[in-house]
Chains A and B, each alone.
Chain A
Amino acid sequence: MKKRVTWDFLMARYPAFFPLILLVLSIAINLFLQPNMLDRETLNSNMRVFLPLILLAVGQAIVLLGGGIDISVGGVVSIVNTILATRVGLDGSPEKMWQFVLISLLAGALAGAINGFFIAYLRLQPIITTYATSFLYAGLALFILPNPGGGIPADISNLYRTSTPLGLPLAFYVIAILLLIWVYVSSTRYGKYLFAVGGKAEAAYETAVPVTLVQFGIYVISGFMAALAGIAITMLSGSGNAEIGGQMTLNSITAVVIGGNAFSGGIGGVAGPIMGAVTLSLIQNIISFARINTWWETLVKATIIVVALAAPGVINLIRRRRA
């Protein structure tokens, strides 16, 4: 018997289905306002700005899938930014840069491990724990670099800003690698455990899933992804600022939820959040291209986001009423 592909089936089976519609819609509007958007130069200059949030959203997506939340990611981004800007310096050698990139990744994973230790092993509540550590990390970043300054060599920034292998933006390759890794991870035992823990930790525990280890792992991954985001944003800006990550945390959570993942965990993937992050960034672009009065910007942006979040629920309500 042929299975009919219905709206409900698509919505339930593919959490990334609705985010895809939103993404296509926002690309269409953006294309209308900025006709040269798909040119190689413009596309690259957009994607290199979007990449840090995409990386952060992927880490956040893993945490939310596993039933947690990480509001310290912005602090980790700031730490990595300040480490690179102060230790490498504007006239540092490439070797020094890559050496500190490695150190930054370790620092990110360590920051995640601290979160994971308190949440998984001491069983503290994720939101308040990562809120506390966000102070710890943001304070540390400010301690490393009290005033904006420092930087990384211009050559390395340019490498990030202008490389377009085979005519495609660097970010596309990063996204492709992330998706490949995700496809692999979600088929492994850890991937299955992740969904089990996010769905219902107690039930997962009963069926011999190593809940504590899985919970610990998601925060390490999140810290690592935040460090990657920090490296990307440092290469983009070329300079250091301890407050650089502060605004990114809540955006990463919004991106993941727009991307169709359940806030309560256990449902979703990584492709949706990536689309969510791009959509969120495109909304910002649309607002600046639509020449909206500056006073109205905040309201319009927030309204679009709330409408995007509300849309699936509204559609369901209407459909249920008709049925």
Chain B
Amino acid sequence: MKRFIISPPVAALILAIVLFLLSGFLPNSYGSDVKVAIAQATNIVRLAVFLGVIAAGQTLVIISGFEGIDLSAGSIVTLTAILTYVMVKGEDNMVLLALLVSLVAGAIIGLLNGAGITFLKISPFVMTLGMAGMVTGAIIVINHGNVSGKVAPIMTELIARPLVFGIPGAIIIWLIFGVLIWLLLERTTFGKNLFAIGVNRVTAKLSGVNVTGTNLATYSLAGALAGFGGFLVVGNTGVVLIQLGQPFLFPSIAAVAVGGTLLSGGKGSYWGTMAGAIVLTLITSLLTTMQMPDSVRRMVLGATLLILISIYGRQQALRQ
């Protein structure tokens, strides 16, 4: 049988470009105006940054295998967005401290996830689901539904506005971020161990990998990355609400799957997730432009996702 070998990240990216070009034919789209088209494309990529960063942690825990998943990512995003908002209070000199606090808060929650999963043998799905409830509950207890604060001008400047050559700062941050995650996955011992425990924990342990340590580190790191996501999201929106992070949660898993990372672990890349985040953001914003009722939009999104994963999300056949 003839086989076409296109790696999932490339396939997702090609798909995004084709979809975007086709969207030009839509009635209220960019039409033949190249300038508008570029602006629109840039904006979609800029919006994909937030999903992409939040999905980075998700990529790591999913690669770590053993049903790895992080359902607390959404609530961590909300938490650190609120923390940033309250701490910064519109002052530039507080931004770095707020970023640090966001990362640490996310890492602590991630560490608790990891501890429950590795030491108490709770399955990641329910452990992180319960943690999401606890974090959301803690947010409600602490702020009683209202927060006062303000994002700093420098954050809006860096995240939401064009920085150099009309490229928004968020995209530049994402590119640097992407290179760092790639280095982490492909060029460090941690990355090698991560893939090793994702493939098979027993063989990893026998070949000298510290499985417990790697697992704890993975969940902590995932929490910290979600925390960074919250910091970025609030820089973009400028306002916070209790439901801020939740809409990113399942799309972050979908972005990982669309990017070709195996949900059973051991195989995947962050480039794929980045491409997946762009495809998902593109589809969502196209559906919004088409002004369809909410019900049809949900159905089209579901069907598109199903088609996407049917193309290259298939598992190995039972007969080998």
CB distance from A215 to the nearest CB of B (A): 10
Residues of B within 8 A of A69 (CB): 125
In whole angstroms, how far apart are the Cα atoms of A192 and B134 in the complex? 38
| Interface-facing stretch out of B27-35, B212-220, B298-306 | B298-306
CB distance from B296 to the nearest CB of A (A): 7
- Are the C-beta atoms of A135 and B136 separated by less than 8 Å? no
Residues of B within 8 A of A236 (CB): none
- Are the C-beta atoms of B137 and A135 separated by less than 8 Å? no
| Interface-facing stretch out of A17-25, A32-40, A99-107, A301-309 | A301-309
Closest to A262 in B: B123
Which residues of B pack against A, CB within 8 Å?
A: 67, 69, 116, 119-123, 125-127, 129-134, 136-138, 140-141, 144-145, 250, 253-254, 257, 262-264, 293-303, 305-306, 309-310, 313-319
In whole angstroms, how far apart are the Cα atoms of A295 and B138 in the complex? 9
Residues of B within 8 A of A257 (CB): 123, 125-126
In whole angstroms, how far apart are the Cα atoms of A215 and B218 in the complex? 31
- Are the C-beta atoms of B129 and A254 separated by less than 8 Å? yes
Interface size on A, residues (CB 8 A): 54
Q: Any chain B CB within 8 A of the CB of A61?
A: no
In the complex, 23 of the A-B residue pairs with CB atoms within 8 angstroms, ordered by the A residue number, are A124-B315, A127-B263, A128-B257, A131-B253, A132-B306, A134-B302, A135-B298, A135-B299, A136-B303, A139-B300, A141-B295, A143-B295, A143-B299, A211-B318, A297-B137, A299-B137, A302-B130, A303-B134, A309-B127, A310-B120, A310-B122, A313-B122, A314-B120
Q: Any chain B CB within 8 A of the CB of A178?
A: no
Query: What 11 new A-B contacts, CB under 8 Å, besides A125-B257, A139-B297, A299-B140?
Result: A127-B253, A135-B302, A139-B296, A139-B301, A141-B295, A297-B137, A306-B127, A310-B116, A313-B121, A316-B121, A317-B120
- Are the C-beta atoms of A118 and B310 separated by less than 8 Å? yes
- Are the C-beta atoms of B309 and A129 separated by less than 8 Å? yes
CB distance from A120 to the nearest CB of B (A): 10
Residues of A within 8 A of B299 (CB): 135-136, 139-140, 143
- Are the C-beta atoms of A296 and B141 separated by less than 8 Å? yes
Q: Any chain B CB within 8 A of the CB of A133?
A: yes
- Are the C-beta atoms of B67 and A143 separated by less than 8 Å? no
- Are the C-beta atoms of B130 and A295 separated by less than 8 Å? no
Residues of B within 8 A of A314 (CB): 120
- Are the C-beta atoms of A132 and B295 separated by less than 8 Å? no
Residues of A within 8 A of B129 (CB): 250, 253-254
CB distance from B277 to the nearest CB of A (A): 15
Known: A127-B263, A128-B263, A139-B295. A205 touches B318 (CB 8 A): yes
- Are the C-beta atoms of A201 and B133 separated by less than 8 Å? no
Of the candidates A118, A301, A317, the one whose C-beta lies within 8 Å of that of B137 is: A301
Residues of B within 8 A of A242 (CB): 295
Q: Any chain B CB within 8 A of the CB of A57?
A: no
Which residues of A pack against B, CB within 8 Å?
A: 69, 118, 122-125, 127-129, 131-143, 146, 201-202, 205, 211-212, 242, 250, 253-254, 257, 262-264, 295-303, 305-306, 309-310, 312-314, 316-317
CB distance from B144 to the nearest CB of A (A): 6
Known: A118-B306, A299-B141, A310-B116. A253 touches B295 (CB 8 A): no
Known: A125-B315, A139-B295, A205-B319. A132 touches B137 (CB 8 A): no
9 A-B pairs with least C-beta separation: A299-B137, A302-B133, A313-B120, A135-B302, A139-B298, A263-B123, A136-B302, A139-B299, A298-B137
- Are the C-beta atoms of B144 and A295 separated by less than 8 Å? yes
In whole angstroms, how far apart are the Cα atoms of A133 and B128 in the complex? 23
Closest to B304 in A: A132
- Are the C-beta atoms of A264 and B133 separated by less than 8 Å? no
Residues of A within 8 A of B132 (CB): 302
CB distance from B130 to the nearest CB of A (A): 4
- Are the C-beta atoms of A305 and B133 separated by less than 8 Å? yes
- Are the C-beta atoms of B313 and A305 separated by less than 8 Å? no
- Are the C-beta atoms of A302 and B295 separated by less than 8 Å? no
CB distance from A230 to the nearest CB of B (A): 17
- Are the C-beta atoms of B302 and A306 separated by less than 8 Å? no
Closest to B144 in A: A295
In whole angstroms, how far apart are the Cα atoms of A296 and B145 in the complex? 12
Closest to A138 in B: B298
CB distance from B121 to the nearest CB of A (A): 5
Of the candidates A139, A201, A253, A300, the one whose C-beta lies within 8 Å of that of B126 is: A253
Of the candidates B123, B127, B301, the one whose C-beta lies within 8 Å of that of A264 is: B123
CB distance from A67 to the nearest CB of B (A): 11
- Are the C-beta atoms of B122 and A122 separated by less than 8 Å? no
Closest to A132 in B: B305
Residues of A within 8 A of B319 (CB): 205
Known: A125-B263, A299-B140, A313-B120. A131 touches B315 (CB 8 A): no
CB distance from B225 to the nearest CB of A (A): 20
Of the candidates B126, B133, B253, the one whose C-beta lies within 8 Å of that of A263 is: B126
- Are the C-beta atoms of A264 and B67 separated by less than 8 Å? yes
- Are the C-beta atoms of A302 and B318 separated by less than 8 Å? no
- Are the C-beta atoms of A263 and B67 separated by less than 8 Å? yes
Of the candidates B116, B121, B253, B314, the one whose C-beta lies within 8 Å of that of A123 is: B314
Closest to B319 in A: A205
- Are the C-beta atoms of B137 and A309 separated by less than 8 Å? no
- Are the C-beta atoms of B295 and A317 separated by less than 8 Å? no
Of the candidates B120, B298, B309, the one whose C-beta lies within 8 Å of that of A142 is: B298
CB distance from A240 to the nearest CB of B (A): 14
In whole angstroms, how far apart are the Cα atoms of A313 and B116 in the complex? 9
- Are the C-beta atoms of A125 and B133 separated by less than 8 Å? no
